[in-house]
Amino acid sequence: MTWASADTLHRTAKGLIDSGRADSPETARRILESLVLQVAAGERLGRDPAAQAALTTIVNTGHRAFLGGVAVRLDDDPVLSVGWAAGLRASEAVRRFGGRVTGGLRGDQPTLAVAAPAKPVGSLILHPTWSGWAGGVVESAAQLLSDDATTPAGVIAGALGVSEIFQHSLGAAVPGRRSVGVSLWRPDLPWHTPDAAGEPLQWLPARLWLLGLGHLGQAYAWTLGMLPYASPGEVQLGLVDFDRIIGANTATQLLVTGQHVGLRKTRVVAAAAEGLGFDTAIVERAFDEHFHPAGNEPAIALAGFDRPEPRRLLGGNRFRRVVDAGLGAGYVEYLDMVLHTFPSPEDPADAFPPRPAAARGLPMAYESEINRQVRAGAGEAAARCGMLEVAGVTVGAAFVGAAAGALAVADLLRHLHGGNEYSVISLDLRTPAEPQAVSNAAPGPYAAPACTPALAAGP
């Protein structure tokens, strides 16, 4: 048995090792390979942009966690019109984003029913649903909300659906047996209330930076790419990252496949964004104290760092507005997300204190592997160093990033539409119907960011 390196260890499988459910990467992977997600898609799919955003998000995030695959039964095979799938037939989109099309579903596997399919089959059936800016999942088709919704609502509904079934499949008692959702317009309100539906979507962000192009940065790009831009050529994205793609990134990063390993993240994201008609500018260096946008460059940023050091540098009037998302790193916390918006009453240097040194104790599986290597003739110091490196990488799941990406992009959309300002939003996917949102008491003077019209007014 050979343990994966830090560069190849599947980030979702790592949660099973750290929690003690698996004693090796191979065992963890076998558990994930036993999980299959089914999707039934109804005839409304071709007429419902939010359903298209949900379906593609489900497939793209689902196949990265359910290693047994995502099987999709289509009642119809329309040409899709939304974002990353525009111009593709539904069957083509399913295959492109990592799923497989099937003629029938099994009764012993869980199912997400999208766009009111005829007679969905599954051991557990949940229905993604949406209305305006709100998205979630319900237990019965009788509970479905209005189909008139923004595409980010479809993204978060799809991510929540995958999350609920994934947690259920790993034995959680409550997920999969409840109706849950989030309003991207008013995360402080119950998601199914009329005031949570929000305003018509008329304006979209046109010029912004994506700072960091890993799990979160690509999740931001995923939701941005779902927006109904009337003139995508007016969108300018500044892409900041210095890393190359490693094998482990395929578990969490939505624009990455195994074919991209070794390439620079900036180039992969730029190629994807330019395929939508966006204009991009690449900056291949770390974000540090020397990064200051010039006067003709975007003044808005979405930050997706996994360390506090660059996040502490987001202040100092570098940007007119910054939205920063952070995800939990451990096998329990990986379902958590916290968003900060600046300006706010709190400076980034205070919001993100230096991270204390991690405890050096290792879960039993890692200690067992050290002992095995030592028995095989390796030096204990070298074996322990290698296992510490593996143990130090974060646990992650693509559906968590997709939910955070929808929340972050929604902050910019709310700002463009005169909605409530929040300084902090936290969401735990164990209890997704209970997000916490703190009103921003010091958002700074309003200055309309560069924007461009939406293709058509939404709800």
Active-site residues, by number, are 385
Q: How far apart are CA 384 and CA 369, in angstroms?
A: 9
Q: Are 414 and 201 in contact (CB under 8 A)?
A: no
Q: Is 458 left (phi over 0), alpha (psi -120 to 50) or beta?
A: beta
Upstream peptide bond of 128 is cis (omega within 30 degrees of 0): no
Q: What Å distances lie between residue 171 and 97, 134, 167, 396, CA to CA?
A: 27, 27, 7, 18
Secondary structure class of 6 (helix, strand, coil): coil
Strands 436-439 and 422-428 turn out to be antiparallel
Asked if 129 and 135 count as a contact pair (C-beta separation under 8 A), the reply is yes
Q: Is the dihedral of CA 418, 423, 429, 430 positive or negative?
A: negative
Residue ranges with strand state E in 25-79: 37-41, 70-74
Distance CA 406, CA 226 (A): 10
> How many angstroms separate the CA atoms of 256 and 199, rounded?
33
Which residues lie across from 438 on neighbouring strands? 424
Give me the amino acid identity at 322. Answer: V
